[in-house]
Amino acid sequence: MGLPETGGGRGGTVNRSVDILLEGGPGGIPRRLRVALDEIEDGRIKIDHRGGREHFERVDGSPGPDAAQAVFRWTQRTRIAE
């Protein structure tokens, strides 16, 4: 089963993206996101939110990007250096 692909990039390249589900974290962050596949290759994602970064890690056993939506759980918040 292939990955969902979105849009055409520069030079005829195709951007690959996947839908993910987020668990936990502060209110105001969408629970479903579409992100570039290379943003989650290491099993982590950071989302800028209200002057900080919200950190999420992939839940063990969650489906892979080709199967269904991967699940990421909130782990911490860090401040963005000014």
Taking residues 61-77, what's their average pLDDT?
76
What is the residue extent of each domain of the chain? 5-79
Instruction: Check if the beta carbon of residue 66 is closer than 8 Å to that of residue 1.
Output: yes
Give the pLDDT confidence score for residue 41 in this predicted structure. Answer: 85
Measured in degrees and rounded to the nearest 5, phi and psi for residue 3 equal -85, 150
Report the alpha-carbon distance of residue 70 to residue 65 in Å, rounded.
6
Give the pLDDT confidence score for residue 52 in this predicted structure. Answer: 94
Report the alpha-carbon distance of residue 72 to residue 4 in Å, rounded.
19
Average pLDDT in the chain? 80
Give the pLDDT confidence score for residue 16 in this predicted structure. Answer: 85
Q: What is the pLDDT of residues 24-48, one digit of tens each?
A: 999 999 999 999 988 888 999 999 9
Answer yes or no: is pLDDT of 63 > 90. no
